[in-house]
Structure 1
Amino acid sequence: MNTTFRALMGATALCASAGLAAAQDTTLTVATVNNGDMIVMQGLTADFEANNPGIKVDWVTLEENILRERVTTDIATKGGQYDVLTIGTYEVPIWAKQQWLVPLNDLPAEYQADDLLPAVREALSVDGTLYAAPFYGESAMVMYRTDLAEAAGVTIPDSPTWTDIMAAAEAMTDRDAEISGICLRGKPGWGENMAFLTAMANSYGARWFNPDWAPQFDSEEWKATLTDYLTMMNEYGPPGASSNGFNENLSLFQQGKCGIWIDATVAASFVTDPENSTVADKVGFAQFPNKEGVDNHGNWLWAWSLAIPTSSDAPEAAKAFIAWATGPDYAALVAAGKGWRAAPPGTRTSLYENADYQAAAPFAAMTLTSMNAANTQKASVQDIPYTGGQFVGIPEFQGIGTAVGQQFSAALAGQMSADDALAGAQANTTREMTRAGYIK
């Protein structure tokens, strides 16, 4: 019996075991983001339904910013529209403490919760109890065109500085061929452009707040961050960059329109997919850059995860679905149809010990290195009062982060200067933090 068949049989047994207590004739409404791995999961729905008779799955698939808005509104108002939510490492601890999420400490033994990567499991737990199960995990890293780098005579080391990146982006830019030297997030949102810019700021030695919760956008570190970001995007970036998020930049890179893309490690399987990427065999990988003299490579850590709101009227069926979608053998279901390269990354130790995955995924080692390097307990080299890597782990951050993202996106679109955007971010954040009681 081959490895994939054994894993498929294990997945079947796991779903059946987890679904024993699930109510019959149940329809689960699953809210998820329109990322590639989730689209693959939807394509495998028939496998789950076949092994869990009486449970049907309805999908609500939304763009990232809209998903966050809708699930946040629904869970805060106990609306009960969804039985399974796709949320991240930002929401889980905050919502669990509000008792908005169903604990997942009673998943079957076959689920092998101890196999979850420690950093990811810790980020999704409160007081040792798991409140969401990771579907895929990620840090951030550099993805670049090896052929363009070679043609331009530049080298991107495994651990580059921003000076290395800017020089390479300049050298790879070819406006006549419609190739941008670098593609970075510009679409406003706390989980869109601010995820990238917060990570970049961390790598420049910046911080969102000092220990007294005073905003720090008037610091030299933030000014250097935003100035260099705007320089890269305006001089070497794609047209209309202020509207580009993860999916838009992924499409550009797959079409051969970007020399360098710095974003979530989960993108690696898509840019190396020969069916959808024109540059699949020409991609190199490196750690998230740091600024010379700053020992910090961004500290990005995220896990798109599945959780059950306490407002769901079908929690047992929802647990059966989560055990199937995030269990140890789900990767084999994906591999059977798309190959091991396409397995959802960044959640389980066993995946990175799998020889088939190692052989199929040239990005595996760099992904694991990047995730292990993240320190969400201290994202900045300066003293800070908060946790979180590319976000600040407080409830108010959704609104504040998005407001700052709008300022910085406007600067990218040429609607204001970097200094004005930073001044606006400082004033707005100070006002909101004072209103929330952080600043006395």
Structure 2
Amino acid sequence: MSMMWRSLMGACAATALVFPAVAETITIATVNNGDMIRMQKMTKSFTDANPDIQLEWVTLEENILRERVTTDIATSGGQYDVLTIGTYEVPIWAAQDWLVALDDLGDDYDVDDLLPPVRAALSVEDTLYAVPFYAESAMVMYRTDLAEAAGVTISENPTWTEIKAAAEAMTDKGSETYGICLRGKPGWGENMAFLTAMSNSYGARWFDPEWNPQFDSAEWNETLTDYLDLMTNYGPPGASSNGFNENLSLFQQGKCGIWIDATVAASFVTDPANSTVADKVGFAKFPNKDGVDNHGNWLWAWSLAIPSSSNSPDAAKKFVAWATSKAYTEEVAAAEGWRAAPPGTRTSLYENAEYQAEAPFAAMTLTAIEAANTQKSSVQDIPYTGGQFVAIPEFQGIGTAVGQQFSAALAGQMSATDALAAAQANTTREMTRAGYIK
């Protein structure tokens, strides 16, 4: 072998030694809300500590996210390594062996610090199958200045009668100030999350113990009739297209007197950088109907899970452990203040004096989460669990179909009576087809 050829081979070998290893890429499917978008901006500390892992983000509107991740995991598509899912999907998917168990995230993760209701909702037989990025219940957020100017009071334990009177008094459509903003966009996790919680507070239920739908009941008729009355008379135009994000924007712009929705919204409506009414917001429990002792029983956790079809489960575990850790919470607080810390997941956050001082909504959020009874969401006898949803696989399709009927009623395309009749007929048919009704 010639001296020149040996030199070339040596140079090639030396060059090969300094080639960096190919980084492992994990694809994360997430929802386009403020907390999850913030997470994407905060990942430098993770990638600096894990240069061998690259992050690829797929950020989607809520309904589209649910559709795509459900299709992918049910077909073992392997398109995503980390899924953003909630308390509805976790127990159902874990039972199908579709999710990787997350009981080995290390002592530093401090799994015992997770709030007990949230940890239980994301576990099957005491094994954690998803970790909460943030958790929420639901509550009333309202403009204290508008309430004072209108001469109305919203108590800490309001009834729907009280809410209606306040919404009427605060409405000034000439100045584009609407007394109340509620979800109207169709979807099992959009308008039906709110309307299911509202129906629970009216004493309604989705099914009786024999799984017969109950949309022909007096309680559901009152729920939908009052909802449509509130939104038609005191709500914003085009409300049938408004979900969480749209109502958040309206409230931040000062166009809503009352907004009843997820507790996680509180940090955004009190954010002076993005909310024109940041210093004028009060909080109260989710309303109940006079004589019904039930404040909605909403409990949700946007959580990170790893599908069994992932080709990079170890790298994915490193990411989900980082993104839901106490250290991540501290990073957010250092960057944007304690008010912006992901809420509802850890006991230590609610024991933190700095968080309590900066987050006027902290106590109400914790009260709402701890009060949620997802084992019995209705005051009537029921065969299902779940708070603002019914924890059966068929609910995703049934809930969305019912949501479309109720959204059409809000848009003025049908009456409450017709929407309820259609919901009753459609749900009875699907539950019979699925074998629940014999």
Aligned to 1:33: 31
Give the superposed CA RMSD: 0.7
Q: What is the CA distance between 1:312 and its match in structure 2?
A: 0.3
State the one-letter code of the partner of 1:423: A
State the one-letter code of the partner of 1:238: P
Q: Give 1:172-183 correspondences, 5 Å limit.
A: 172-183=170-181
State the one-letter code of the partner of 1:159: N
Aligned to 1:20: none
Aligned pair 1:211/2:209, yes or no?
yes
3-state SS of 1:388 partner: coil
Which one of 41, 66, 69 corresponds to residue 68 of structure 1?
A: 66
State the one-letter code of the partner of 2:351: E
Aligned to 2:157: 159
State the one-letter code of the partner of 2:422: G
For the 8 Å contact 1:213–1:385, the answer to whether it is kept is yes
Superimposed CA distance per residue, residues 267-326 of structure 1 (whole angstroms, 9 cap, x where no aligned partner): 000000000000000000000000000000000000000000000000000000011000
Superimposed CA distance per residue, residues 214-262 of structure 1 (whole angstroms, 9 cap, x where no aligned partner): 0000000000000000000000000000000000000000000000000
Return the alpha-carbon distance in structure 2 between the equivalents of residues 157 and 24 of structure 1: 59
Which ranges of structure 2 fall in alignment gaps of 5 or more residues? 1-20
State the one-letter code of the partner of 1:259: G
3-state SS of 2:100 partner: coil
State the one-letter code of the partner of 1:137: A
Aligned to 1:337: 335
Which ranges of structure 1 fall in alignment gaps of 5 or more residues? 1-22
Q: What is the CA distance between 1:396 and its match in structure 2?
A: 0.2
Aligned to 1:396: 394
Aligned to 2:238: 240
TM-score (norm 1): 0.95
Aligned to 2:414: 416
Q: What is the CA distance between 1:24 and its match in structure 2?
A: 6.9
Aligned residues: percent identity?
Answer: 81
Deviation >6 Å, runs of 4+: none
3-state SS of 2:175 partner: coil
Superimposed CA distance per residue, residues 157-181 of structure 1 (whole angstroms, 9 cap, x where no aligned partner): 0010000000000000001110000
Aligned to 2:350: 352
For the 8 Å contact 1:24–1:53, the answer to whether it is kept is no
Aligned to 1:44: 42
Q: Give 1:72-91 correspondences, 5 Å limit.
A: 72-91=70-89
3-state SS of 1:329 partner: helix
State the one-letter code of the partner of 2:98: W
Superimposed CA distance per residue, residues 352-397 of structure 1 (whole angstroms, 9 cap, x where no aligned partner): 0001100100000000011111000000000000000000000000
State the one-letter code of the partner of 1:207: R
Which one of 360, 364, 383 corresponds to residue 385 of structure 1?
A: 383
Q: Number of matched residues?
A: 418
State the one-letter code of the partner of 2:188: W
For the 8 Å contact 1:104–1:131, the answer to whether it is kept is yes
Q: Give 1:53-202 correspondences, 5 Å limit.
A: 53-202=51-200
Superimposed CA distance per residue, residues 335-361 of structure 1 (whole angstroms, 9 cap, x where no aligned partner): 111100000000000000001100100
Return the alpha-carbon distance in structure 1 between the equivalents of residues 32 and 370 of structure 2: 26
Q: What is the CA distance between 1:329 and its match in structure 2?
A: 1.7
Greater Cα radius of gyration, structure 1 or 2: 2
Return the alpha-carbon distance in structure 2 between the equivalents of residues 340 and 30 of structure 1: 26
Return the alpha-carbon distance in structure 1 between the equivalents of residues 266 and 344 of structure 2: 12
3-state SS of 1:176 partner: helix
Return the alpha-carbon distance in structure 2 between the equivalents of residues 103 and 117 of structure 1: 19
Return the alpha-carbon distance in structure 1 between the equivalents of residues 118 and 69 of structure 2: 21
Return the alpha-carbon distance in structure 2 between the equivalents of residues 45 and 418 of structure 1: 47
TM-score (norm 2): 0.95
State the one-letter code of the partner of 2:429: R
State the one-letter code of the partner of 1:294: V
State the one-letter code of the partner of 1:84: V
Q: Give 1:370-381 correspondences, 5 Å limit.
A: 370-381=368-379
Aligned to 2:282: 284
Return the alpha-carbon distance in structure 2 between the equivalents of residues 101 and 302 of structure 1: 18
State the one-letter code of the partner of 2:240: S
Superimposed CA distance per residue, residues 140-163 of structure 1 (whole angstroms, 9 cap, x where no aligned partner): 000000000000000000010000
State the one-letter code of the partner of 1:42: Q
Q: What is the CA distance between 1:186 and its match in structure 2?
A: 0.1
State the one-letter code of the partner of 1:302: W
For the 8 Å contact 1:24–1:55, the answer to whether it is kept is no
State the one-letter code of the partner of 1:330: Y
Which one of 250, 253, 260 corresponds to residue 251 of structure 2?
A: 253
3-state SS of 1:81 partner: coil
